[in-house]
Amino acid sequence: MEKRYFQPEIETMPVEQIKALQSERLVKQVQHVWDNVPYYRKKMEEKGVTPADIKGIEDLHKLPFLTKDDLRDAYPYGLMGKPKKDCVRIQSTSGTTGRRVVAFYTQHDIDLWEDCCARAIVAAGGTEEDVVQVSYGYGLFTGGPGLNGGSHKVGCLTIPTSSGNTDRQIQFMVDLESTILCCTPSYAAYLGESIEEKGFRDQIKLKAGIFGAEAWTQEMRQEIQNKLGIKAYDIYGLTETSGPGVSFECEEQTGMHINEDHFLAEIINPETGEVLPEGEKGELVFTSLTKEAFPLLRYRTKDLCVLNRKPCSCGRTHIKMSKPLGRSDDMLIIRGVNVFPSQIETVLLNEGMTPNYQIIVDRVNNTDTFDINVEMSQEMFSDSLGKVAEKEKQLVASLKAMLGIQAKVHLVEPKSITRSEGKAVRVIDKRKLYG
């Protein structure tokens, strides 16, 4: 059994030892930041904290938070922990929600990041026998480079297809007999749909998929697993924390083990900043423990989730985080009600709809309008129009039961919503145009 683990000495370490390791590394990481990142040192000074106050993880709460605003203020080089000559790479976010985040890596940072991704691949059943198709975007986006490096470390034959060119993706998948697919969940769903249409379902050899970089529900997992005949594993990470691989699912599929030797997680009350006990829902905060070029202490992710350290059947002892229950950034406030797109996805898939949908919010005469376009399956589309009206009514009722507000549901023709090859555009909030 031990052979299956990439780093069993770390991943199955007794909890007390993990905490001791974290304490030791935190002390060093704080000193490194204090010595090399004047921006954060100033924040510590303002709070009256020095490295001498941080003796272990029990003192973590004394440190100031870092937020996305800090990253913007310090852009581009303000949070760098090593001189440029020691750094070998940057990765960056798309910058669609404001100024982009640029993260820096030394070769040591890249090695550790790839180790984390390798653990995720092993946890999904990957070995040197596997053919891993990496259909995340390559380039500035962390998805492609991270999983690519992890796949090399495990010794898998790696196909760096990057995202897009769906026909070629499927061709490679068939010809080279890919066994593990890595991409966004929405692209996995699209690939599943295209494979079915082309009649290639019997010719693909996929057994597992590692999907992340966007929010997805359990219902979406089921949909992908059925379409592709695989086990679908979740993976989590942010450019700020190096990329995917901060945490990943094992075969239990009940949350993602955090790589605790590199990342220290906390859950806080997003309103007050108070640290919450294990098991409570709140905002996820990460502290890097081993990073050189872009160390972040107490970085607020804006992701809402729950941590738990119940023993896992896989043998790993690292704490697990739930699938983010919603990103505070993603939450829509429609007519005063909080709505998460994931709630809508759950309802649509439970009602047997396709995972191709779009949420459109606007403001007309000072009232929020709330429309959901969802594609019919080919089968439903061929049915009579009367049934469509009936289904729309049923969806409106189910959505109202889940969200507490009325949406307008439009069943649209198959293929009328643009497919995404990277992160899907699920929400169009036109209210933002008016400021």
Closest CB 122 distance from Zn ion, rounded Å: 12
Give the residue with the Cβ less far from Zn ion, 249 or 421.
Answer: 249
CA distance 344 to 116: 32
Give the residue with the Cβ less far from Zn ion, 204 or 250.
Answer: 250
Give the residue with the Cβ less far from Zn ion, 48 or 311.
Answer: 311
Handedness of CA 33, 37, 42, 43 (dihedral sign): negative
Give the residue with the Cβ less far from Zn ion, 33 or 312.
Answer: 312
Give the residue with the Cβ less far from Zn ion, 124 or 213.
Answer: 124
Give the residue with the Cβ less far from Zn ion, 111 or 252.
Answer: 252
Q: Tell me the CA distances in angstroms from 310 to 7, 232, 244, 304, 325, one per residue in order.
A: 20, 22, 23, 19, 19
- Kindly give the pairing relationship between strand 367-375 and strand 408-412: parallel
Closest CB 312 distance from Zn ion, rounded Å: 3
What token pair was written down for 348? 């649509």
Give the residue with the Cβ less far from Zn ion, 250 or 265.
Answer: 250
Closest CB 276 distance from Zn ion, rounded Å: 23
One DSSP character per residue, 13-45 reads: --HHHHHHHHHHHHHHHHHHHHHH-HHHHHHHH
Q: Tell me the CA distances in angstroms from 5 to 87, 158, 243, 321, 391, one per residue in order.
A: 30, 19, 21, 20, 48
Closest CB 247 distance from Zn ion, rounded Å: 11
CA distance 173 to 179: 8
Closest CB 243 distance from Zn ion, rounded Å: 21
Residue in this structure with the two tokens 């007519």, named with its chain if needed: 335
* Contact yes or no for 113/244 (Cβ under 8 A): no
Q: Is 232 exposed, middle or buried (0-12, 13-18, 19+ CB in 10 A)?
A: buried
Give the residue with the Cβ less far from Zn ion, 68 or 318.
Answer: 318
Applying CB under 5 A, which residues contact Zn ion? 250, 252, 312, 314, 316
- The strand pairing partners of 36, in sequence order, are none
What token pair was written down for 111? 């090695």
Closest CB 111 distance from Zn ion, rounded Å: 24
Closest CB 262 distance from Zn ion, rounded Å: 17
| Count of helices and strands (H, E) across the chain | 12, 21
Give the residue with the Cβ less far from Zn ion, 311 or 386.
Answer: 311
Closest CB 316 distance from Zn ion, rounded Å: 4
* Contact yes or no for 147/182 (Cβ under 8 A): yes
Nearest to 399 by CA among 357, 358, 339: 339
Closest CB 206 distance from Zn ion, rounded Å: 22
